[in-house]
Amino acid sequence: MDIFDKILADHGKIRGLIDGLEAAGDDERCEAYTALKDFLLCHHDAEQETFFAELVQHAAARDDAMHMIEEHGEHKKIIEQMDAIDPRADRWEDKFAELKDDVLHHIDEEEEDVFAVARQVLPKSVAEDLGVRMGRIEGGPG
């Protein structure tokens, strides 16, 4: 699985986790949030160690990669804020809505804009290697 397929698979899982959290009742909210948070943070770290670390080495992709890394930082800040709020509070729901909007925008931007540039600068063999490495970092076969 190359890096593009790996990231697309992760993005599908993230969308599903967001949907699951939206549908969760009060009793399931903490568990659904923890699942989303843990997977999202793991995905961000793995993506930065592989995909973006490679893209910043290419002038044509550097700005896009740095922008995506900045957005990861914004997601982490929102998560930290959510962690400090009771999940039953309206403020928590407002923060979740912000996180959802930011993450879905990020995913769309990555798939539409960053992938186009990355496909131009990454040889197929590098894309394959990055996909395997990202899978190992996330704890899977790659």
What domains are there in the chain, each with its CATH number? 3-137 (1.20.120.520)
Task: Determine the Cα–Cα distance for residues 73 and 80; give it in Å rounded to an integer.
Answer: 11
Q: By the 8 A CB rule, do 40 and 15 touch?
A: no
Backbone angles phi, psi at 139, to 5 degrees: 95, 15
Task: Determine the Cα–Cα distance for residues 96 and 135; give it in Å rounded to an integer.
Answer: 27
Angle at which helices 59-83 and 26-47 pack, to 10 degrees? 150
pLDDT > 90 in the chain, percent: 92
pTM for this model (two decimals)? 0.94
Tell me: the pLDDT tens digits for 21-79?
Answer: 999 988 899 999 999 999 999 999 999 999 999 999 999 999 999 999 999 999 999 99
Tell me: the pLDDT tens digits for 99-128?
Answer: 999 999 999 999 999 999 999 999 999 999
Those residues with Cβ within 8 angstroms of residue 137's Cβ, 6 or more apart along the chain or in another chain: 42, 45, 46, 49, 50
Q: What is the dihedral of CA 20, 10, 120, 50, to 10 degrees?
A: 130
